[in-house]
């Protein structure tokens, strides 16, 4: 299903790649939400950001799985 | 009782954030289950049976007919041992057969003659001749057996491939001395390739014999396909040794708080190899069994 991610001969678990993607997308999304004023309806911002990061990581994992299966 | 806008917002704010956090927890649990329970492992190896090939008779290596990394078929000539001495031994044994045969026919002639002279010679003399003939017959049989052994030794001086395979890590040159029974070359049996997947014990309940397996070889794009053939009946107990002197169990007294799941070898037969991939014993593979997805749903349902 999911193989290994090869970075210059070092093979790592694909989960790490998903986490990096999740982190990057979260940064971008946070900035957009900030601009849109969404954070006014957020209660604890660090908790919300962490949750967002996890959800995006999971999403990246599912996308990677779908892409590598076909 | 009416809420103004601010109170409503203050009540809704934690709700929204907590909802997102809850979804995040579910995602985390899903990923955790996948890595802990789904029957897949990154710790797999391609393996093959290796024949450590030895000469059957000792002697100087005379001719080498293969080179390193050459594919050979069962029965192909690999190398020959110097057979001058062995041929000499065979000639000796054949001469011994001739001697024994001559002795035998003489003893039998004499025996027949003595048996015919029943009135003249004593019974003891007749018995002596009969036992002499029997001894000569036994010695003849012994000589035949010795000759057959010498012939086998001479035949075995030519070492042939016992299986289809590939000669590996080979550096035997003519002139080297080969001792009987001591391996001089490794022959990788090319009909014996399989994959050993080292599955953590938490995943073993999802490893069923016959399950289809997708095998990804490190550095190759195309996956191999195979099926689970069986799993090991046991692995070594790392916490326990047997003391040399007393023969009592020596159990490691330092028990670590953090325990790691043991890994159990699962044997996977290779069914299909895409063209362009050479199987090499020792390569690293990732093994995913069918049902890796189901494992999650089953886990959650139970």
Q: Chain A window 3-62: which residues touch B at a Cβ cutoff of 8 Å?
A: 3-4, 6, 11, 13, 15, 40-44, 47-48, 50-55, 57-58, 61
Residue B178 lies in a domain: no
CA atoms within 13 Å, Cβ hemisphere of B186: 9
Residue A1 predicted with pLDDT over 50: no
Domain limit, last residue, from B156, B178, B204: B156
Residues of A in contact with B223 (CB under 8 A): 3
Question: How far is it, in rounded angstroms, from Cα B205 to Cα B115?
Answer: 83
- B198 with B294, same domain: the answer is yes
Claim to verify: residue B241 and residue B151 sit in the same structural domain: no
Residue A56, number of CB atoms within 10 A of its CB: 22
**Residue B196 sits in the same domain as residue B152:** no
Residues B141 and B198 in one domain: no
Query: Do B216 and B269 fall within a single domain?
Result: yes
DSSP B163-182: SSEEEES----TTPEEPTTS
pLDDT for the residue numbered B132: 93
* C-beta of residue B194 within 8 angstroms of C-beta of residue B47: yes
| Of B133, B156, B179, the domain-final residue | B156
Q: CB distance A42–B16 less than 8 Å?
A: yes
Domain encompassing residue B94: 83-156
- Say if residue B290 is in the same domain as residue B241: yes
Q: Does the residue B77 lie in any domain?
A: no
Residues B295 and B200 in one domain: yes
Length of chain B: 302
CB contact under 8 A, B27 and A50: no
Q: Consecutive 10-residue runs of chain B (302 residues): their mean pLDDT?
A: 72 84 91 81 92 90 92 93 92 95 94 86 89 94 96 92 91 90 90 93 87 88 90 90 90 85 93 88 89 53 44
The model's confidence at residue A2, banded by pLDDT at 50, 70 and 90, is low
Split into its structural domains, chain B has a count of 2
Answer yes or no: do B294 and B215 share one domain. Answer: yes
Give the DSSP H or E segment for A60: helix A45-69
Cβ proximity of B59 and B82 under 8 Å: yes
The answer to whether the CB atoms of A15 and B40 lie below 8 A apart is: no
Return the residue matching tokens 């979260």. Answer: A26
Residue B27 belongs to a domain: no
Instruction: Report if residue B247 sits inside a domain.
Output: yes
Q: Measure the CA angle with vertex B202, ends B23 and B287; round to 5°.
A: 90
CA separation for the pair B17, A44 (Å, rounded): 7
Q: B284 with B229, same domain?
A: yes
B-chain CB neighbours of A41 within 8 Å are: 9, 12-13, 16
pLDDT of residue B300: 47
Residue A29 has pLDDT above 70, yes or no: yes
Please report whether residue B8 resides in a domain: no
**Among residues B156, B172, B204, which one ends one of the domains?**
B156
| CATH code of the domain in which B207 resides | 2.40.30.170
Average pLDDT along chain A: 83
Angle of helix A45-69 relative to helix B5-37, nearest 10 degrees, comes to 40
Specify if B115 maps to a domain. yes
Same domain, B211 and B271: yes
| CA gap B151, B145 in Å, rounded | 10
pLDDT value at residue B115: 87
- Does residue B162 fall inside a structural domain? no
In a domain, B230, yes or no: yes
As a whole number of angstroms, the distance between CA B13 and CA B276 comes to: 58
B148-153 LR contacts (CB < 8 Å, sep 24+): B149/B93, B150/B86, B150/B89, B150/B90, B150/B92, B150/B93, B150/B94, B151/B90, B151/B93, B153/B56, B153/B57, B153/B86, B153/B89, B153/B90
DSSP secondary structure letter of residue B68: T
Judgement on whether residues B215 and B151 belong to the same structural domain of the protein: no
């Amino acid at each position: 299903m999911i193989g290994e991610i090869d970075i210059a001969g070092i093979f790592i678990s694909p989960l790490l790649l998903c986490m990096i993607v999740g982190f990057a997308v979260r940064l971008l999304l946070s900035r957009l939400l900030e601009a849109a004023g969404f954070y006014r309806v957020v209660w604890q911002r660090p908790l919300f950001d962490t949750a967002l990061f996890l959800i995006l990581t999971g999403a990246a994992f599912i996308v990677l799985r779908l892409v590598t299966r076909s | 009782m009416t809420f103004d806008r601010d109170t409503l917002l203050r009540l809704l704010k934690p709700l929204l954030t907590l909802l997102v956090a809850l979804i995040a927890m579910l995602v985390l649990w899903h990923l955790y289950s996948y890595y802990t329970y789904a029957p897949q492992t990154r710790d797999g190896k391609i393996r093959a049976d290796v024949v450590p090939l030895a000469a059957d008779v000792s002697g100087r290596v005379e001719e080498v007919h293969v080179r390193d990394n050459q594919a050979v078929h069962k029965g192909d000539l690999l190398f020959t041992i110097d057979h001058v001495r062995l041929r000499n031994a065979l000639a000796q044994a054949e001469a011994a057969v001739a001697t024994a045969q001559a002795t035998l026919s003489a003893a039998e002639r004499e025996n027949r003659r003595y048996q015919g002279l029943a009135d003249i010679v004593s019974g003891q003399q007749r018995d002596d001749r009969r036992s002499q003939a029997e001894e000569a017959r036994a010695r003849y049989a012994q000589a035949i057996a010795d000759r057959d052994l010498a012939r086998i030794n001479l035949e075995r001086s030519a070492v042939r491939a016992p299986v289809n395979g590939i000669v590996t890590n080979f550096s035997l040159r003519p002139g080297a001395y080969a001792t009987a029974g001591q391996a001089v070359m490794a022959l990788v049996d090319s009909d014996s390739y399989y994959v050993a997947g080292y599955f953590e014990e938490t995943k073993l309940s999802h490893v069923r014999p016959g399950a289809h397996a997708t095998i990804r070889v490190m550095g190759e794009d195309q996956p191999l396909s195979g099926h689970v053939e069986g799993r090991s009946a046991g692995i070594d107990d790392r916490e326990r040794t047997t003391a040399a002197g007393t023969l009592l169990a020596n159990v490691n007294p330092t028990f670590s708080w953090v325990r790691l799941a043991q890994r159990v070898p699962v044997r996977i037969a290779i069914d299909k190899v895409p063209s362009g991939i050479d199987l090499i014993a020792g390569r690293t593979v990732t093994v995913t069994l069918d049902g890796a997805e189901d494992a999650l749903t089953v886990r959650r349902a139970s």
